């Protein structure tokens, strides 16, 4: 039976924090025997700190808790990786407003014991404010059961969330996997796919789930980002980075990266998103964005 370190960055998620932490504590895999929870409070200004400290007091030997300035989720996750205990075999990532299916770690443990791969993911299910659950569009990847996906063979099997990703600890120890800290949005997608360009394979774990919260009130991180300059910088600092990595590795932009870019860049064309985004830019920025957008499209 393997042991897990679950890393949770927290920034102003007091309304959902209990549910997230409880989904780790109540796993079918014994929490006290097989799990450590590492919470990085990334500069929260609400009562997240109080909630975290209460859990830390309750489970002093199984929860690690630190407070940092608001350095972003990538830096928080990297710090969490540095804090993983020697006895932990696997590292998993959970956002503070999301939850794990209670059998998730047991399923991941079984998967890694059966399949020769160092990184695996869970199916993602969206949960809205009313508790309605919907399947993610990319969950078709899980219909064939537990398996290993090779991105050179299944170019449409893209992935870009940190939540629900599990790695063998050796990947971090050997500097094969870490999170990008130079961007504050899409850093998980860039980090995950930077790894895949080099290694090509990842596993899919079925019969469990990662529950991703999507708010209807405009307060989800993804929705808010359309008015953020992070979206403006993403073309050069995110999309172009993956293009350059693929060119360096393969001499071309592989179909997997092309598919990933089209899947995301089309969001800029949605009326709701483009209206918010374009009105947040001045004339010079809009012109620069159009040039960058065209340069990205050239590769797909």
Which of 55-69, 93-107, 235-249, 274-288 is predicted with the least confidence, judged by mean pLDDT?
A: 274-288
159 plus 272 within the same structural domain: no
Percent of the chain with pLDDT over 90: 81
Is residue 223 one of the residues assigned to a domain?
Answer: no
Residues 250-281 pLDDT 10s: 999 999 999 999 999 988 887 777 777 788 88
Gap between the Cα atoms of 280 and 285, Å rounded: 9
185-203, pLDDT tens digit by residue? 899 999 999 999 999 999 9
User: In which domain, by residue range, is 29 found?
Assistant: 4-213
Tell whether the model's pLDDT for residue 219 goes beyond 50. Answer: no
Identify whether residues 163 and 248 lie together within a single domain.
no
pLDDT band at 4 (very low <50, low <70, confident <90, very high): very high
Look at residues 222, 217, 236, 226 and name the one whose alpha carbon lies nearest to residue 294. 236
Spatial strand order in the sheet of 99-100: 99-100, 210-213, 124-127, 133-135
Cα dihedral value 269, 271, 274, 275, nearest 10: 160
Structural domain includes residue 219? no
User: Within 13 A of 41's CA, how many CA atoms are on the CB side?
Assistant: 21
* Residue 164 predicted with pLDDT over 60: yes
Question: Lowest-pLDDT range, 36-45, 65-74, 110-119, 213-222?
Answer: 213-222
Q: What is the CATH number of the domain that holds 181?
A: 3.90.550.10
CA dist 49 → 7, 55, 93 (Å): 16, 10, 19
Please enumerate in sequence order all residues whose Cβ is within 8 A of that of 46, keeping only pairs 6 or more positions apart, or say none: 12, 13, 14
Q: What is the DSSP letter of 50?
A: H
Pair 287, 209 in one domain: no
The pLDDT value recorded for residue 223 is: 55
- Would you place residue 225 in the very low, low, confident or very high pLDDT band (cuts 50, 70, 90)? low
Non-local CB neighbours of 119 within 8 Å, separated by 6+ positions: 165, 166, 167, 168, 171, 177, 195, 199, 201, 202, 203
**Predicted confidence (pLDDT) at residue 224 exceeds the cutoff of 80:** no
pLDDT in tens, 287-300: 888 899 999 999 99
pLDDT in tens, 106-149: 999 999 999 999 999 999 999 998 889 999 999 999 999 999 99
Q: What is the pLDDT of residue 218?
A: 47
69 and 154 in one domain?
Answer: yes
Tens of pLDDT, residue by residue over 229-243, are: 777 788 999 999 999
Number of domains in the chain: 2
Q: Between 289 and 168, whose confidence is greater?
A: 168
Sign, CA dihedral 202-37-169-89, equals negative
Residues 86 and 141 placed together within one structural domain of the fold: yes
* pLDDT for 217 beyond 60: no
End-to-end CA separation in angstroms for the chain: 44
Residue 188's contacts (CB-CB under 8 Å, 6 or more residues apart) are 73, 74, 160, 161, 162, 163, 165, 179
pLDDT, position 16: 96
* DSSP reduced 3-state for 39: strand
């Amino acid at each position: 039976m393997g042991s897990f370190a679950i890393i949770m960055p927290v920034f102003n998620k007091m309304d959902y924090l209990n549910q997230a932490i409880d989904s780790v504590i109540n796993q079918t895999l014994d929490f006290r025997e097989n799990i450590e929870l590492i919470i990085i409070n990334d500069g929260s200004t609400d009562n997240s700190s109080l909630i975290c400290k209460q859990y830390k007091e309750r489970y002093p030997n199984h929860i690690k808790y630190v407070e940092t300035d608001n350095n972003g989720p990538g830096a928080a996750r990297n710090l969490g990786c540095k804090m993983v205990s020697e006895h932990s075999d696997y590292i998993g990532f959970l956002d503070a407003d999301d939850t794990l299916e209670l059998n998730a770690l047991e399923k991941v443990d079984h998967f890694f014991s059966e399949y020769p791969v160092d990184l695996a993911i869970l199916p993602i299910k969206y949960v809205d404010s009313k508790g309605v659950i919907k399947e993610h569009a990319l969950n078709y990847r899980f219909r064939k059961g537990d398996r290993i996906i090779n991105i050179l063979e299944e170019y449409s099997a893209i992935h870009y969330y940190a939540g629900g990703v599990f790695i063998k600890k050796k990947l971090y120890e050997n500097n094969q996997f870490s999170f990008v800290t130079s961007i504050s949005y899409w850093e998980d997608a860039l980090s995950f796919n930077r790894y895949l360009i080099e290694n090509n394979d990842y596993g899919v774990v079925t019969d469990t789930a990662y529950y991703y919260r999507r708010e209807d009130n405009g307060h989800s991180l993804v929705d808010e980002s359309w008015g953020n300059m992070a979206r403006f910088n993403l073309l050069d600092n995110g999309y172009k980075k993956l293009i350059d990595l693929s060119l360096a590795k393969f001499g071309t932009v592989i179909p997997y990266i092309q598919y990933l870019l089209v899947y995301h860049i089309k969001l800029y064309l949605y009326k709701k998103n483009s209206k918010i985004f374009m009105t947040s830019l001045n004339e010079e920025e809009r012109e620069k964005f159009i040039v960058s957008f065209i340069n990205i499209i050239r590769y797909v």
